[in-house]
Amino acid sequence: MKLKPLGDRVLVKRAESETKTKSGIFIPDTAQEKTTQGFVVAVGDDEAIKVKPKDKILFDKYAGTEIKVDGEDHVIMRNDDIQAVIEE
């Protein structure tokens, strides 16, 4: 089963919590409710989208809609809610 995002929507698989600490990026307590990390799964066809599947990204926590795909946590968000690509 597959989800194909429309327009400026991006499907993101939430990164697991332990990954966050290992990566060296740590979101302090006060901001913990605002950002989080994940991996791009699929993107819409909007030209403004600069991320591609497998990119690790930082996005606004309140962005988008939570959805479970094959049992795992995903978020469908708008491209503008993605703040940065995480390169390691």
Binding site for a copy of itself (CB under 8 A): 1-7, 9, 11, 23-28, 30-31, 34-35, 45, 48, 50-51, 58, 60, 65-71, 73, 76, 80, 82-88
Least separation in angstroms between CB 23 and a copy of itself: 6
Task: Pick the closest to residue 16 from 39, 34, 41 (CA basis).
Answer: 39
Between CA 84 and CA 70 the distance in angstroms is 26
Shortest distance, position 64 Cβ to a copy of itself, whole Å: 8
| Closer to a copy of itself by Cβ: residue 9 or 38 | 9
**C-alpha to C-alpha distance for 84 and 2, rounded to whole angstroms:** 25
Least separation in angstroms between residue 53's CB and a copy of itself is: 14
Report in angstroms the alpha-carbon separations of 52 from 27, 28, 39, 56: 24, 27, 9, 9
